[in-house]
Amino acid sequence: MNWVSGKPEGKLFWSGETPESVVSLDVPSGPVGGPADFYFDSKTSVLTLPCMLDGRVLLLKLDQ
């Protein structure tokens, strides 16, 4: 998030055990506006991401 311009520019990255395993996650709705704390449910592989500036909560199903 670019807090100066107010534009939603947040990106998500998934990190594994090594630096080579870091990948950028595709968010279908585009860049995230003001992501807050998020939660990953390992049983369902769903990432819950509150987008504070957008006034919404994203639920992203991740393939592991």
The string of pLDDT tens digits covering residues 15-52 is 878 878 888 887 877 777 766 688 999 999 998 988 87
* In 4-43, alpha helices (H): none
Threshold 0.95, pTM exceeds: no
How much is the pLDDT for 27? 80
How much is the pLDDT for 32? 77
| 39-41 and 46-51 beta bridge pairing | antiparallel
Q: Which two tokens stand for residue 47?
A: 């990432």
Q: Which two tokens stand for residue 60?
A: 């992203």
